[in-house]
């Protein structure tokens, strides 16, 4: 082989230098883009944390006399606006990095064309191949630069996806904290305005009553409802244009019904269901502090009915866990109203209904898993299939029994809130007897 040319053509030297510089610039801009995404994520987290801190501090100052609009705007509203800003910032970062990647791609194409032109011109002028090693260095550096440009977009897209996921998780957690602060105010409102006589009125002074229990909601209920209604209005305004973010505790892909208004955006429905779920826990914990007479339970049922109506007005799915929980709460109020001698029958009906619901849900899942055919491969699998089928039947029976036991335990917990409660009210309850029936 001839000796390499000690003084290569200036164009070839420029091509080698340009290819190396191009590769280095791509690596540097990738580092800048990743730093930019990381900085955006940190700023979003700081913004969200500041909003939560302000929301929690404000919540501690509110009580039952506070203006619901002020509570919603300066509490959960501040958190939701911060969440909206954070998600918008992430999208702006994505657009900026898209422009960076596009610029890198364009510059790589232009530089590649110039480098290839210089290398081709040198090859034509040097047919002997005296500087083949330098040509290989130039073309090799060019290939590396091109791969780096392609990898840059992949890396930026992947880092942005991580940023979206992390910020979305932070937004979900922030929104939950905002809802917890709202429920704290709801609890303070209920505690401050609720009177024991609301659920345990003095029936000996009935002639002095200005209204019969259950004719209208109590002031505590009305004030709490005003808070959550205003919070939902504020949420609807903040969440309409926000990119969809899912709560882990609430099912996504919420089907919308034409008859439901205000559910044009999935986030609003998701927020509504999370709010309804937290409200259910808050209200039930509140009413569990009181004993209830039969007439007082009429008032309780009216208040729970008001909350149930609100939840039905904001939740698009009538079969959602939150909607079902409120319907069940309304039905369980009957345990405080009916005569004591009817309680054992109520418990039997409760167990039977829960078992039937569990079996129906299991059947529905089986049909879905079988692709709508309603049968499984094990149905005709011979002896092994029979054994597997027997185990499955035992498991289903156990699940149904557990559902029945859980429903009865919850009903018994409600019965304990009766002002006239005595353990003898439950003495007829017998799971073995129920199962035999």
pLDDT at 399: 87
Of 325, 278, 317, 112, the C-alpha closest to 181 is 278
339-363 pLDDT, tens digit per residue, is: 999 999 999 999 998 888 888 888 8
76-119 pLDDT, tens digit per residue, is: 999 999 999 998 999 998 888 888 888 877 877 777 777 766 66
| Tally: H helices and E strands in the chain | 12, 0
37-73 pLDDT, tens digit per residue, is: 899 999 999 999 999 999 999 988 888 788 999 999 9
381-403 pLDDT, tens digit per residue, is: 455 555 555 677 888 888 888 98
- The chain-wide mean pLDDT, for the chain, equals 80
Q: Where are the domains of the chain?
A: 8-193, 196-201+212-242+265-337, 340-368+395-427
Between CA 403 and CA 223 the distance in angstroms is 35
Contact 332, 350 (CB under 8 A): no
Chain center to CA of 138:
53
Between CA 25 and CA 21 the distance in angstroms is 6
* HSE, side-chain direction, 13 A CA sphere, residue 33: 29
């Amino acid at each position: 082989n001839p000796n390499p040319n000690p003084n290569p053509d200036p164009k070839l030297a420029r091509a080698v230098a340009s290819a190396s510089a191009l590769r280095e610039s791509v690596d540097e801009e990738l580092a800048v883009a990743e730093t930019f995404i990381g900085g955006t994520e940190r700023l979003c987290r700081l913004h969200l944390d500041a909003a939560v801190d302000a929301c929690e501090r404000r919540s501690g100052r509110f009580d039952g006399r506070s203006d619901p609009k002020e509570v919603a705007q300066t509490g959960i509203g501040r958190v939701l606006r911060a969440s909206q800003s954070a998600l918008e910032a992430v999208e702006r970062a994505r657009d900026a990095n898209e422009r960076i990647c596009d610029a890198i791609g364009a510059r790589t194409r232009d530089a590649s064309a110039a480098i290839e032109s210089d290398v081709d011109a040198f090859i034509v002028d040097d047919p002997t191949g005296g500087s083949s090693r330098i040509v290989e260095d130039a073309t090799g550096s060019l290939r590396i630069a091109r791969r780096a440009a392609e990898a840059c977009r992949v890396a930026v897209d992947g880092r942005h996806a991580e940023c979206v996921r992390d910020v979305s998780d932070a937004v979900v957690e922030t929104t939950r904290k905002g809802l917890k602060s709202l429920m704290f105010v709801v609890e303070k409102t209920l505690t401050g305005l609720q009177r024991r006589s609301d659920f345990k009125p003095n029936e000996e002074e009935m002639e002095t009553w200005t209204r019969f229990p259950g004719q209208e909601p109590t002031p505590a209920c009305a004030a709490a409802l005003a808070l959550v209604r205003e919070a939902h209005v504020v949420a609807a305004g903040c969440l309409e244009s926000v990119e969809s973010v899912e709560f882990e505790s609430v099912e996504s892909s919420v089907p919308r019904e034409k008859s439901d208004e205000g559910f044009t955006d999935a986030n609003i429905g998701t927020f509504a269901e999370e709010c309804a779920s937290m409200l259910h826990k808050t209200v039930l914990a509140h009413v569990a502090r009181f004993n209830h007479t039969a007439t007082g339970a009429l008032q309780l049922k009216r208040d729970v009915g008001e909350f149930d109506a609100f939840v039905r007005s904001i939740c698009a799915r009538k079969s959602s866990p939150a909607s079902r929980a409120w319907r069940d709460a309304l039905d369980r109020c009957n345990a405080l109203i009916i005569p004591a001698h009817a309680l054992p029958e109520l418990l039997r009906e409760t167990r039977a209904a829960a078992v039937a619901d569990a079996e129906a849900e299991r059947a529905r899942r089986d049909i879905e898993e079988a692709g709508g055919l309603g049968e499984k491969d094990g149905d005709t699998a011979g002896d092994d299939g029979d054994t597997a089928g027997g185990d499955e039947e035992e498991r289903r029976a156990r699940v149904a029994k557990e559902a029945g036991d859980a429903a009865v335990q919850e009903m018994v917990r409600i019965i304990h809130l009766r002002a006239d409660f005595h353990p003898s009210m439950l003495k007829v309850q017998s799971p073995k007897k129920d199962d035999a029936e």
